[in-house]
Amino acid sequence: MKLKLTFFALVTLGLLSYALYMALVVAPTEATMGDVQRIFYYHVPSAWMAFLCFFINAIASIWYLAKRSQTADAIAVSAAEVGVVFCTIVLLTGPIWARPVWGIWWTWDARLTSTLVLWLIYIAYLILRRFSTSGRAPVLAATLAVFGFFDVPFVYLSIRIFRTQHPQPVIAGGEGSGLDPTMAKAFLWNMIAFTFYGLLVMWMRYRLELAERSIEEAHAEKALQEGA
Amino acid sequence: MIKYMWAAYIVTWLVHLGYLGFLTSKASKIRKEAEELRRN
């Protein structure tokens, strides 16, 4: 298992390095925004990874609600935590990109607001998991996760449904949308690299969750033995 | 303009490294607890 993890980590490190090279060196400078447009190569893959993590969390939560599987619960909490990390990056890199391009750090348009709401939903989920003393916390958290996931398609579609300050989709955005082929290549490498990295971190977090639970069980067993 | 680009890239990796640091400290805490359990 450790060998597999090391191999996966090395492949991910290679991919991230190559993706960074593609984003900073190979991809051409965008005509209107200049170098600041290169934030796109980190901002969009981070958003994609956040969506993927929240999707995994929703599926695992449904699995947990149906079967009360501890594996599903461990996957759900790991995916939510990693998703929050990526969503935080989206909420930080977005304003850094917006300031030089729009002249403002933040605006309450549908895309930005729904992304902030998404982040708050999963922060609430993690707080519930961490601080609730009720034995029903995993069930409540799983229910929150299933309903919370409905914000993900809303975030994705918000720029298509509403008129927003946030730009219209560059990829699959209909007529006039699309990327320069070299930019598309750099973008694709970053998507692959961040997907590998996100899955690697999720795997590490999942293994830690399992280890933590087995220690809690061992403590409980020991307390029972001492009490008997 | 380029300073904003660097800021975004640095912030991204600071968040990731911070999270990796959190996972590492959690792992060492778990390892310590497991050793303690084994000893007792």
ipTM confidence = 0.94
Asked if A146 and A65 count as a contact pair (C-beta separation under 8 A), the reply is yes
Which residues numbered 77-106 in A keep a CB inside 8 Å of some CB on B? Answer: 82, 85, 88-89, 92-93, 96-97, 99-100
Total number of domains in chain A: 1
Structural domain range at position B20? 1-40
Give a yes or no: residue A36 inside a domain.
Answer: no
Q: How many domains does chain B have?
A: 1
Query: Does A7 reside within a domain?
Result: no
| pLDDT tens, N- to C-terminus, chain A (228 residues) | 788 889 999 999 999 999 999 999 999 999 899 999 999 999 999 999 999 999 999 999 999 999 999 999 999 999 999 999 999 999 999 999 999 999 999 999 999 999 999 999 999 999 999 988 878 889 999 999 999 999 999 999 998 888 878 777 777 666 666 788 899 999 999 999 999 999 999 999 999 999 999 998 888 888 888 876
Q: Is residue A88 part of a domain?
A: yes
Domain extent for A208: 47-166+176-213
Is residue A34 situated within a structural domain?
Answer: no
* Most B CBs within 10 Å, among A53, A96, A201, to test the B interface: A96
In this structure, how many other beta carbons lie within 10 angstroms of the beta carbon of residue A45?
Answer: 27
* Residue A31 placed within a domain: no
C-alpha distances in Å from residue A1, one per residue of A5, A8, A12, A204, B19: 6, 11, 16, 11, 22
In a domain, A184, yes or no: yes
